[in-house]
Structure 1
Amino acid sequence: MILYPAIDLKDGDAVRLLRGEMEAATVFNTDPAAQARLFEKAGCEWIHLVDLNGAFEGYPVNAAAIGAILEAISIPAQLGGGIRDLGTIESWLDRGIERVILGTAAVEDPDLVREAARAFPGQIAIGLDARKGQVATRGWAEETEMTVTDLGKAFEDAGIAALIYTDIDRDGAMGGPNIEATETLARAVSIPVIASGGVSSMTDLTALKATGVVAGAITGRALYDGAIDLKEAISTLSAAH
């Protein structure tokens, strides 16, 4: 199981939100590129990036900070937030992003997701962000009637690289991820599922790994706060058992 350290970008800084509220942002590092280098030095295989401003605005906002991160690291990075057209997807992939995450577009423009997955095999992921099992879009500001499992199943044949499942009510709250819902989704689809939202301890990580079906876990605040020791986490998750 792969650990994805998260760098959430707001106004050029690395921050964490509480339950997706932009007003509840805590700045953890004013130099996101330096933070990314620290994650790579610790042994991380991937970096998870989110353009928070972009998620709300609908277009890339933190491009300068993301560019600096890409120049600073040699490991792959995945990026979500405000990516809603093929041109933007192609632009980020050309700039060095390894995997683009589409969230709002998966609900509002599924044809775009399928077209992107065909054009860029293995480089398109879907962000499934949910409150009480119902998918939310546009920076989590709008809720839909669609369930996470139904949306995931709808893209089974599209060649999607991963589904990133976030329980919004647990995000940044340090209360643990929704392991049951994450496992249920992972067992319902053939696409690899990455857990996000509330991953705050080694216990959370070992529980996710113990499901045997969760492919990865994203965590941010717990790393910045020191609740999870990064090197220990990487060692534990990379072990065979």
Structure 2
Amino acid sequence: MDIIPAIDLKDGKAVRLTKGLMESAKIYSDEPWQLAKRFEELGAKWLHVVDLNGAFAGEPKNLEQIEKIRKNTNLFIELGGGIRDEETIKRYMDLGINRLILGSIAVKDPDFVKEMAAKYPIAVGIDAIDGYVAVEGWAQTSSMKATDLAKEFAKSGVEAIICTDVGKDGTLSGVNVNFTLSIAKASGVPTIASGGLKDIEDIKALLKAKHIAGVIVGKAFYEGTLGLSEAFEIARML
């Protein structure tokens, strides 16, 4: 199971939100690339980056910081937030990003996502509020069940599904293992858990559940409730 530290970008700074609310942003670094370098030093292989401004605007908004992260680390980077067309995908691929995350567009135009997955390394972001898909930077909730969207991408060629329980995101209340498993079973695609991770017990629970390909680590690292080195070690052992 991959343990993937996260950097969320807002106005060029590394922040964490609570339940996806932009007004809840807490700043953790003015130089996000330095955080990325720290994750690499601790043993991370992958980095999860979200352009929060881009998610709302529907276009890249934190390119300068993304470029700095790419230039200063050898991490595999997956990136999401405001990616709505092939031009943006190409732009990020040319920058050296390893995997792009398509979220809102996956609800509106799943055929586009499948077409892109045939050409590029694509992950689908499925973010849910009470089991229903949230879109446009989580500002809106659709009428589609998260598991139905997951089924849409079975055998589609996407590399992974990253599923977030928005109600838990940034709360340190514990990861939603059952929700993650429901997405994994519905899609048959390697599924990465996100939202609510608190401590090493969550890591152990995800490892025991099996069928879960990874987990995003955000506020738990920033607030000191989870040590990344310990998490990497346990993931290697189990």
Give the TM bin, normalised by the shorter chain: over 0.9
CA apart distance, 1:188: 2.5
Query: Does 1:107 pair with 2:143?
Result: no
Question: Which amino acid is the alignment partner of residue 38 of structure 1?
Answer: R
**Any idea what SS the aligned residue of 2:167 has?**
helix
> Gaps spanning 5+ residues in structure 1: where?
none
Question: Which amino acid is the alignment partner of residue 209 of structure 1?
Answer: L
Q: Which moves more between the two structures, 111-120 or 62-71? A: 111-120
- Summarize the alignment of residues 218-229 of structure 1 with structure 2, pairs less than 5 Å apart: 218-229=216-227
Question: Which amino acid is the alignment partner of residue 107 of structure 2?
Answer: V
**Any idea what SS the aligned residue of 2:113 has?**
helix
CA apart distance, 1:189: 2.3
Distance (Å, rounded) in 2 between the aligned partners of 1:112 and 1:44: 31
Residues 140-185 of structure 1: CA deviation (Å, up to 9, x unaligned): 0111111111111111121000000000000001101111111122
Indicate the residue corresponding to 1:53 in structure 2.
53
If the length of structure 2 is used for normalisation, what is the TM-score?
A: 0.98
Question: Which amino acid is the alignment partner of residue 18 of structure 1?
Answer: T
Question: Which amino acid is the alignment partner of residue 108 of structure 1?
Answer: K
If the length of structure 1 is used for normalisation, what is the TM-score?
A: 0.97
Distance (Å, rounded) in 2 between the aligned partners of 1:41 and 1:175: 27
Residues 83-135 of structure 1: CA deviation (Å, up to 9, x unaligned): 00011011101111100000001011212201111111xx1000000001100
Indicate the residue corresponding to 1:162 in structure 2.
160
Query: Does 1:37 pair with 2:55?
Result: no
Distance (Å, rounded) in 1 between the aligned partners of 2:33 and 2:205: 31
Indicate the residue corresponding to 1:3 in structure 2.
3
Indicate the residue corresponding to 1:204 in structure 2.
202
Indicate the residue corresponding to 1:150 in structure 2.
148
> Gaps spanning 5+ residues in structure 2: where?
none
Flag as ranges the 4+ runs of structure 1 deviating above 4 A: none
Indicate the residue corresponding to 1:20 in structure 2.
20
Q: Is the 8 A contact 2:13 2:31 kept in 1?
A: yes
Percent identity of paired positions between Structure 1 and Structure 2: 45
Q: Is the 8 A contact 1:2 1:238 kept in 2?
A: no
Q: How many residues align?
A: 238
Residues 41-84 of structure 1: CA deviation (Å, up to 9, x unaligned): 10001000000000001000000000000001102100000000
Query: Does 1:232 pair with 2:219?
Result: no
Indicate the residue corresponding to 1:128 in structure 2.
126
**Any idea what SS the aligned residue of 2:210 has?**
coil
- Summarize the alignment of residues 83-98 of structure 1 with structure 2, pairs less than 5 Å apart: 83-98=83-98
